[in-house]
Amino acid sequence: MTRYNAWNVLKNGITGQKGWDRAWRDPQPKDSYEIVIVGAGLHGLATAFYLAKNHGIRNIAVVEKGWLGGGNAGRNTTIVRSNYMMPGNRFFYEHSLKLWENLSHELNFNVMFSQRAHISLLHSPAARDAAARRYNTMRLTDTGAELWDLETLKREVPHLNYDNARFPIIGAAVQSRAGSARHDAVAWGYARGADQYGVDIIQNCEVTGVRRENGRVTAVETTRGDIGAAKVGFAVAGNTSRLWRMVELGKLPIETHKLQAFVSEPLKPLLDQVVVFGVGGAHFYISQSDKGGMVFGGDLDWYKSYAQRGNLPIVQDVAEAATSILPCLGRVRLLRHWSGVMDMSMDGSPFICKTPVENLYLNAGWNYGGFKATPASGWYFADLIANDRPDPVIENFDLGRFSRGVNIDERGAGPDPKLHG
């Protein structure tokens, strides 16, 4: 595989760009594999990559019903952060952020990770006190947490509505190491990396059934024939309940909801950070892409669905939040908006766990925050599948935590819209 580096760019620049290899192959499915991962989104691809890289397992297929990265991987607003307080999330997401910091080098693929700071606006002394508790705790894991007063915020982010806001801004909680990355590049980088280790990424291959014998999965039935597997991992995000139904294991504590995202026409540099506004039921987050488009989103659509398209009331809701916090956006034209299907868990936290079926493993429940989790999710899911036991960092990311009363996230906002602001 040709490496991406300055020498090869120069060499190919003067020799007609003929020396590049395909980024990944388009293999025919084999009869069986040691491990089959269902879903070539970010989590499935990262899992395959770390299974190969960290655990030396090469006989792996990632099967995908559409094209790789065409699900939520290609539809999110790309915010990366690790601003959590409770130990379960704090250690997991901090590990993820550390992996993000070296990801372009690790994959030899520029994922355009930009640590431009994540700014949560504060609107009341009570919110500031809660943020102080959370951000001071974060400092224990060296996350780069800060609290900004109003003067600092005005200096760093001058265009917010400081004079006439419905919810006056009094300061901000800031994680300076947070930021964003290019979602497609992350999917492509992991796909290319996994392919280099010999992983078969099989697109246009929908899993339609799961064969079981003696309490074990023996094969997945797909639109391209049956594929045998010694171990199977589900990483299908919003489609998890559909796959779960195929193994007849009852109900999962997951609902599928839609989340929309929006991008404006390109503007000159306006916003150098990720800004989040959440108060009184409003939920809004915004950043500016390298092309200049304002990328933003808000709350979940207000009903469950597997359809990858959103509704107009949310467009209005998000537009109201946008103009209330950044009035200068009032005349900006919307270029596109779209939706993805979110696997919302009941406590807002994910699952990386074994299942009642011995050789079936589950990666799901990412809610609207799974992009930032990608590297750690792949890392720990690979470790779980390879060693058949959870790392202590993810020991509570299992289906039994509800009966044990475990609290992973201090807010624990599950699938209800308007609880996320």
Ligand X SMILES: Cc1cc2nc3c(=O)[nH]c(=O)nc-3n(C[C@H](O)[C@H](O)[C@H](O)COP(=O)(O)OP(=O)(O)OC[C@H]3O[C@@H](n4cnc5c(N)ncnc54)[C@H](O)[C@@H]3O)c2cc1C
Structure tokens at 177: 């190491």
Nearer to ligand X, 97 or 173 (CB): 97
User: Can you point out the beta strands (E) in 181-292?
Assistant: 200-202, 207-213, 216-222, 225-234, 254-266, 274-279, 282-288
Task: Say whether residue 114 binds ligand X (CB under 6 A).
Answer: no
∠ Cα 401 408 308 (to 5°): 90
- Of 385, 272, 287, 327, nearest to 38 by C-alpha is 385
Nearer to ligand X, 118 or 401 (CB): 118
Task: Say whether residue 104 binds ligand X (CB under 6 A).
Answer: no
Task: Say whether residue 340 binds ligand X (CB under 6 A).
Answer: yes
Least spacing, CB of residue 21 vs ligand X, in Å: 24
Least spacing, CB of residue 285 vs ligand X, in Å: 7
Least spacing, CB of residue 419 vs ligand X, in Å: 17
How far lies 46's CA from each of 64, 115, 192, 218, 414, in Å? Answer: 14, 21, 11, 23, 25
Residues 207/68, Cβ–Cβ less than 8 Å: no
The Cβ of residue 6 has, within 10 Å, a number of other Cβ atoms equal to: 7
Task: Say whether residue 116 binds ligand X (CB under 6 A).
Answer: no
**Given candidates 368, 379, 381, 397, which one binds ligand X under the rule CB under 6 A?**
368
Q: Candidates 97-105, 117-125, 298-306, 364-372 — which segment interacts with ligand X by CB under 6 A?
A: 364-372
Q: Interface mask (CB under 6 A) for ligand X, residues 186-225, using x and -?
A: --------------------xx------------------
Q: Interface mask (CB under 6 A) for ligand X, residues 41-60, using x and -?
A: xxxx----------------
Task: Say whether residue 73 binds ligand X (CB under 6 A).
Answer: yes
Task: Say whether residue 71 binds ligand X (CB under 6 A).
Answer: yes
327 SS3 class: helix
- Of 278, 234, 176, nearest to 39 by C-alpha is 234
Task: Say whether residue 40 binds ligand X (CB under 6 A).
Answer: yes
Task: Say whether residue 239 binds ligand X (CB under 6 A).
Answer: yes
Which residues, in sequence order, are bridge partners of residue 288? 294
Task: Say if strands 351-354 and 360-364 run parallel, antiparallel, or are unpaired.
Answer: antiparallel
Chain residues 289-328 in contact with ligand X, contact rule CB under 6 A: 297
Q: Tokens 């699952």 identify what position? A: 351
Least spacing, CB of residue 263 vs ligand X, in Å: 11
Task: Say if strands 225-234 and 360-364 run parallel, antiparallel, or are unpaired.
Answer: parallel
Structure tokens at 122: 């504060």
Rounded (to 5) percent helix, strand, coil in the chain? 30, 30, 40
Q: Candidates 16-24, 131-139, 230-238, 351-359 — which segment interacts with ligand X by CB under 6 A?
A: 230-238
Residues 287/271, Cβ–Cβ less than 8 Å: yes
Q: Interface mask (CB under 6 A) for ligand X, residues 254-283, using x and -?
A: -----xxx----------------------
Task: Say whether residue 82 binds ligand X (CB under 6 A).
Answer: no
Residues 38/235, Cβ–Cβ less than 8 Å: yes
Least spacing, CB of residue 170 vs ligand X, in Å: 25
Task: Say whether residue 362 binds ligand X (CB under 6 A).
Answer: no
Nearest residue to the partner ligand X, using Cβ: 41
Nearer to ligand X, 152 or 255 (CB): 255
How far lies 376's CA from each of 8, 230, 380, 381, in Å? Answer: 31, 24, 6, 8
Q: Candidates 76-84, 326-334, 397-405, 412-420 — which segment interacts with ligand X by CB under 6 A?
A: 76-84
Quote the CA–CA distance of 21 and 341 in Å, as a whole number.
Answer: 34
**Given candidates 109, 148, 366, 379, which one binds ligand X under the rule CB under 6 A?**
366
Task: Say if strands 118-122 and 60-63 run parallel, antiparallel, or are unpaired.
Answer: unpaired
Residues making contact with ligand X (CB under 6 A) = 38-44, 63-66, 70-73, 75-79, 206-207, 235-239, 243, 259-261, 297, 340, 342, 366, 368-372
